[in-house]
Every structure is written in structure tokens, then in C-alpha cells.
Chains A and B, each alone.
Chain A
Amino acid sequence: MTDAKQLSLEDNFQAKVDAEIKIEPKDWMPEKYRKTLIRQISQHAHSEIVGMLPEGNWITRAPSLRRKLGLLAKVQDEAGHGLYLYSACETLGIERDTLLDQLHTGKAKYSSIFNYPTTTWADIGAIGWLVDGAAIMNQVPICRCSYGPYARAMVRVCKEESFHQRQGFEILLTLSKGTDEQRAMLQDAVNRWWWPSVMMFGPSDKDSPNTAQSMKWKIKRFTNDDLRQKFVDVCVGQAEILGVTLPDPDLKYNEETGHWDFGTINWDEFWQVVKGNGPCNRQRLNARKKAHEEGAWVREAAMAYAEKQEQCEVASVAKVA
């Protein structure tokens, strides 16, 4: 392809994006757009399925039948969301198995938040309220992402996700009205999950070199810092309803900006967890690898059986003919 032709294709592509026309799988797209999407969508899918693990911890210990059903359905939804997202990613010409390999070998990342442990039942509530809350904040704009299959998957995800946050908040609200022990459990969980949730929006804009390009391609609609601020603003009021203190002494309403100022994020911790040094990185990845490896014989057998069946059908048709 000549440079001129390439350039006009790119202009054409950008014009479509600017005009809010969705890009579909077979449309021409810059290679870097495709790669960026694969990275982001698969990272998102991996986060969903790794995210099943910390909450999955508490399915067998959920304190009532109602909670057990709610939590089980929620964790199952995450499997579904992972599946929708892997499907969206596959439209870009990469197989789910390849993506899983990237996860298992550590080549692909997933949201660091899931490398923190769930040590009490209150953590299940805190994850619903804060982690899902942050996730929704991130995801709603992606429903308008320029890539059609990703946007459509996100519409489905967001629709289902809305019960997750409510479930989490309800769990915490019940704790807040409970015994001293339960309230202590609630505060402890919020203490541990607050900062990792604030970090979920990713590095600050000035340290996020890909943001500008992603915004131009409308893969991303808001910057990390904008979304983070929105999240903090929303949470302050909700924390009040729960009667918990957010663990940030610098949290203060700023009359001028109309936003809540917050303290300095511990980016050192953030990068350490990204690099694999969080409390549960190894545990999470090993659990995923184990499930995949121990499932290999099942997947193979099911495939072998289907092939046998097909041969039988062909043979019986041949006989009739």
C-alpha cells in the first residue's frame, strides 16, 4: 500500500470516528487501533474472570440463603461478562485461547484490585459498593465506544452490573444497622478497599501516555482523573448514609471547584501490585491456570465426542443414500 493510500484510509477512518459512526469488525482500521482494542478488551475480560475469585471465596460461606443466591448469581454474571468481552475481542481476529494464554503467562494484565484479599463478609459488600461502583463509572462511557462489538457488549454488561452495586450497598447497609462487631467489620472493609478502588481508574493523566490517542479514537471518553473525581464525589455522600469514614484525612469539599479534594494516591503501591507484588497476585493467577489446565481433558473429550457423532451422522446418511 502506498503511503498516500494508507493516509487516506486513516483519514477516512478518523472521519467516521469523529462523526460517531461505529467501526465494525470487517471495516478497515489502523493496526494500532486494533491492537489497542485487543489489549483493552482482553484486559477487561481477564479482570472479569479473575474478579470471580475474591468474591467466589465467600459463596460457600455466605451468611444467609438470600445472600448466597445473590452472590452466586453475581459471580456468575462476571463469568458472563468475561464471555461477552472475549467474544467482542474475538471479532478482532484473535482467539479466546490465545488471550487466555496471555493471561496465564503474565503477558496480559487484569485489574489490580482483584489482587487484594477478601478476608471478611463485609469485603463482599465493599467490593460491590466501591469496586463495582468504580467499574460502572469506567464502563458506562464505553457503551459509546467507537468499536461496535465492544460498545454492544458493554451495554449488556452495564445493564447486568447495576444490580451488583446495589447488592453490595445493601450488604453494607445491613451491617451498618447491625451489632458493634458488624459495624467494625464494615469500617475495616472500607478502610482496606477505599484506596485500591480510587486507584482502579489507573495512573494520573500526566502519566497515562495512551490516553490522548484512545480519546481521539473514542475508545475512551473521559480521562482517568475525571472519572476518579466523579467517583470520589459520588462516594462521599453514600459513605455518610452507611455511617462510615472514608480513610482519607485530606478529603475536603472544595467550594471553588464544587468537587471533593482528596489525598495523595500511593502510586508506589499501585505499581507494585501491577508488577505482581500484590497480596494475592500469584494465588489468583494460579487458580486461573489450574482451572484451565484441569479442564483441558474435558474440553478435549467434548470435542472428540462431537467429532465422533458427526462421523456417525455422515456414515448413516451415506448408508441411506
Chain B
Amino acid sequence: MNNTNHLNYILRLADSPMILGQRLSEWCGHGPILEQDIALTNIALDFIGQARNLYQYAAKFEAKGRTEDDFAFLRDPLKYKNVLLVEQPNGNWGQTIMRQFLYDSFNFYFYNELKNSTDTQISAIAEKSLKEIKYHLRYSSEWTARLGDGTEESHMKMQNALDELWMYTGELCTPDALDEEAAKAGIGVDLNKIHPYVEEKVDAILRRATLQKPESNWMQKGGKQGQHSEHLGFILAEMQFMQRAYPGAEW
């Protein structure tokens, strides 16, 4: 794998937790009950921390003087390679939980493999992150079951959330050229390999939650190639405002 692609793979790893952490952090102060406000913020902190570790590594790997903040705050949507799922709006608490559950189901098995990366930096970061991710999956699985099988109202809200978000799950386990190359080089994860595990986990929890997987199998794609939904532009406009408005300033 050449250095450009290697770097792009690291950045791809970083961008999804960055955007998801940013999204989750919007909840801080607005959660349904204090205990859960705190719980969700812990998850946001985990993701932003993971993204930061990966951006730091990307900066070191590239060795051209760019910093973690340059990667986070000075790249446009076209350069961001996060999956579409994580940029979807928070919506109500149920939508946030559903988005989280769908992502965590993938992310857990993904990181479980990523820790075997031949890139020792990536594998070290993955190993450390995996402990957090394991907890995320447990948390979002429980909450998906709770709300899916809670009251009539919560069931309906969760089913709606699943129907809305399902089409963004396709690209999680569908490899593109870069995924394949990284997997082959032993640096990245073979998505085909984890796909059945992810599916099994999702099915099991949806069953517990008494939710129906949507019939349509039409999937959106493009996030990993920088083709995003409209939401990302707004996320970055907000997130990058300071760095864009005051170029070069230290904070």
C-alpha cells in the first residue's frame, strides 16, 4: 500500500468517530434525564478522543507539518470520508440511539479486527478504543431494546428511526477499492469477513426490541468517497468556524 493510500485509510478511520462525536456532543445539556445526558456525553468524549488519536497519527505519518487540528478543522466535505450514517441528524433521542446502535454493531466487529492491523500504531489505537466501543455497543443495544419494547409510542418512534436510517447502513460493510487494498495489506479490515457478525448482532437486538428490519434493501453510499448528504456541510461550518474565521491563530 503506498503512503497516500495508507494516509487516506487512517483519515477514513478518524473521520467517522469525529463526526459522530460532534453530533453526540450536541446533546450535552439537552438529554432526557441527567443520568443519560452524562452517559451520552461519555460516549461523545470517547469518539472525539479516538478521532484525535487517529488524526495525531495521521499527522505523524504524513510528516508534512499538518496537525490533528488541521485535519479536523481545515478539510472540506469532499475531503471528509466518514460514513453517511454518522452525519445524520440527532433527531429525537430514539433516532440518536438507533443511529448509535447501528453504528456500534458495525464498529465493534470492525475494531475487533482492526486491533490485528499490521500497522502497529493503528493496532494500538484500536486495542485501546475497543474497550470503549464494547461499552458503547452494550449501551446502545440495551437502549434499543428498551425503547423498541417499551411503550407503544416509543416502539413507533424506534421503528421510524430504523426505517429512516436503514439505508445508510449499507456502506458500513461494503468494501470499496481502498478498503480492499488496506485489508489485503493487513493494515485494514476485511469488511466481508465481519459482515455476517454485524448482521447477526443487529438482527438479534432488533428481535429483542420487537422491531422490523425494513424490506427495502436500497442503500445509500458515497460517504467513504467524500460524497455526502447535505448535513455534513452544516456540521463542518459550525465545527470549523473558529479555525476558518481566524486563520493561523492559537487557541
Contact = CB atoms under 8 A, between A and B. Distances in A.
Contact present between A and B (CB < 8 A): yes
Interface string B41-84: 11011001101100100000000000011001100000000000
A59 B28 contact: yes
Given A61-B238, A63-B243, A69-B48, A83 B249 contact: no
Contact of B153 (A52, A175, A297): A297
Nearest to A296: B32
B34 interface: yes
B241 A61 contact: yes
A82 B146 contact: no
A75 B37 CA distance: 10
B170 interface: no
Nearest to A181: B246
Interface stretch (A27-35, A138-146, A205-213, A287-295): A287-295
A56 B242 contact: no
A63 B251 contact: yes
Contact of B34 (A72, A82, A287, A300): A82
Contact of B48 (A65, A292, A296): A65
Taking residues whose C-beta sits less than 8 angstroms from the other chain, chain B's interface range is 35 or more
B109 to A, nearest CB: 26
B215 interface: no
Contact of B149 (A178, A297, A308): A308
A243 to B, nearest CB: 16
B28 A300 contact: no
A82 B28 CA distance: 13
A126 B243 CA distance: 20
A65 B69 contact: yes
A79 B38 contact: yes
Contacts of B239: 60-61
A60 B33 CA distance: 21
Mostly, the B contact residues are helix
B146 A302 contact: yes
A79 B41 contact: yes
B31 to A, nearest CB: 7
Given A53-B29, A291-B32, A64 B150 contact: no
B26 interface: yes
B157 interface: yes
B22 interface: yes
Nearest to A58: B242
Contact of B28 (A64, A69, A72, A308): A72
Interface string B219-251: 000000000000000000011011100100111
B29 A291 contact: yes
Interface in A73-96: 73, 75-76, 79-80, 82-83, 86
A282 B22 CA distance: 27
Contact of A61 (B38, B145, B242): B242
A252 interface: no
Contact of A304 (B26, B68, B150, B242): B150
B32 A64 contact: no
A49 interface: yes
A39 interface: no
A248 B250 CA distance: 29
A129 interface: no
Contact of A298 (B32, B48, B249): B32
A65 B28 CA distance: 16
Contacts of A294: 32, 92-93
A13 to B, nearest CB: 32
A174 B250 contact: yes
Nearest to A86: B34
A300 B150 contact: yes
A73 B241 CA distance: 21
Contacts of B188: none
A61 B236 CA distance: 9
Nearest to A300: B151
B151 A304 contact: yes
A172 to B, nearest CB: 11
Given A64-B69, A300-B151, A291 B30 contact: yes
Contact of B45 (A76, A292, A302): A76
A236 B232 CA distance: 44
21 contacts: A52-B28, A53-B29, A59-B25, A64-B251, A69-B52, A75-B41, A79-B41, A121-B242, A121-B251, A175-B251, A290-B30, A291-B30, A297-B151, A297-B157, A298-B93, A298-B94, A298-B154, A300-B151, A301-B147, A304-B151, A305-B147
Interface of A: 49, 52-53, 56, 59-69, 72-73, 75-76, 79-80, 82-83, 86, 121, 171, 174-175, 177-179, 181-182, 287, 290-292, 294-302, 304-306, 308
